[in-house]
Structure 1
Amino acid sequence: MTVFRDFNFKLLVVEKLMYWDETLTPAFDLREHMRERGVEDLDAHVQDNELEYTVLDEARAYFEALEIPAELLATVEELTFDGGHQVYQECAPVWDGEDDLFDVRSLDDLDLVPNLKLFTGEWELKHMIPDALEILAARGIAVR
């Protein structure tokens, strides 16, 4: 079982495999997931329960439990940090991108993506993890 230490790093990997490459299937759809649990209006549910600035428990549980096979992890050659990722909308459907909810806190999970060659999001990365550029450079991973 592959265990990620940083949930937000895992979300970057999920974004790449599930929503960009479509190789990690089926794609998680929070609205459908919540409909199956009797929540018809997800936005109202989020606002009524003051969950605007949090990852919904249902999404966190799904993504934390999600197994990503080593064969798929080996296909990840590029990761991108971007506030508009689909996976973020599946976790926090009314999130406005104005806080650090999805900031990566650690690069300890780099070993899980052994063929990573490029990390896009240099500015964001420098602000999330002060020594990130040095860590990535030491591993031969380009940053832009």
Structure 2
Amino acid sequence: MDKSGIFKDFNFKLIVIEALLDKEPLFLEELTDLKNKYLNSFEWYSGNGPIVEIREYLEELTLEAGDLDKVKYLCFDGGNEIYHILKPDWDGEDDLFDVVSVEGFQNLKNLKTVDYISMCYPKVLEPFKQAGIEINY
């Protein structure tokens, strides 16, 4: 469970956060400060997990209704920027960020379209179909 209680799966929350990065969300300044603090001093490493401080921030982050209303489109793709903010050396070759549930998408009242490239099994997206949201494979 995402610690804010909005989404069942933290990895799905990451996809929603990704969708908001270019929409001036309320959390952008704080996230940018964290990126600058930890990524600028980041030394490439291998085998370590996500940057703990950034992960904790994102886990605790409560997405405001105004920001959730901005989400009209989601993209399930291993190349999403949010993954490289969390783990700069992530190569997409493991299931670290795989989505197992989209429960909570009901909070995205303006969601119309989902692009599916990777990051979950197609059956995970079934609730979108049932809600009439277009899925592009």
Question: Is TM (by shorter chain) over 0.5?
Answer: yes
1:143 aligns with 2:135: yes
CA gap 1:130/1:15 in 2 versus in 1, 3 angstroms: closer
In the alignment, is the contact (CA less than 8 A) between 2:102 and 2:125 conserved in 1?
no
**Separation of aligned partners in 2, 1:130 and 1:142:** 13
State the 1:133 CA deviation.
Answer: 4.2
Which protein is richer in helix relative to its size? 1
In the alignment, is the contact (CA less than 8 A) between 1:15 and 1:85 conserved in 2?
yes
The aligned counterpart of 1:33 is 37
**Separation of aligned partners in 2, 1:5 and 1:33:** 29
1:124 aligns with 2:113: no
In the alignment, is the contact (CA less than 8 A) between 1:43 and 1:94 conserved in 2?
no
**Separation of aligned partners in 2, 1:104 and 1:23:** 22
State the 1:33 CA deviation.
Answer: 2.5
Q: Tell me which of 7, 14, 17 is aligned to 2:17.
A: 14
**Separation of aligned partners in 2, 1:130 and 1:16:** 19
Which secondary structure does the structure 1 equivalent of 2:36 belong to? Answer: helix
After TM superposition, where is structure 1 displaced by more than 4 Å over at least 4 residues in a row? none
What is the TM-score with the length of structure 2 in the denominator? 0.81
State the 1:2 CA deviation.
Answer: 5.3
Letter in 2 for 1:23: P
**Separation of aligned partners in 2, 1:67 and 1:31:** 18
CA gap 1:85/1:134 in 2 versus in 1, 3 angstroms: closer
CA gap 1:27/1:88 in 2 versus in 1, 3 angstroms: farther
Letter in 1 for 2:31: F
* Aligned positions, number: 131
Alignment root-mean-square deviation, CA? 2.3
Which secondary structure does the structure 1 equivalent of 2:101 belong to? Answer: coil
What is the TM-score with the length of structure 1 in the denominator? 0.78
Question: Which runs of 5 or more structure 1 residues have no equivalent in the other structure?
Answer: none
**Separation of aligned partners in 2, 1:87 and 1:23:** 14
**Separation of aligned partners in 2, 1:66 and 1:113:** 16
The aligned counterpart of 1:4 is 7
State the 1:124 CA deviation.
Answer: 2.4
**Separation of aligned partners in 2, 1:98 and 1:106:** 20
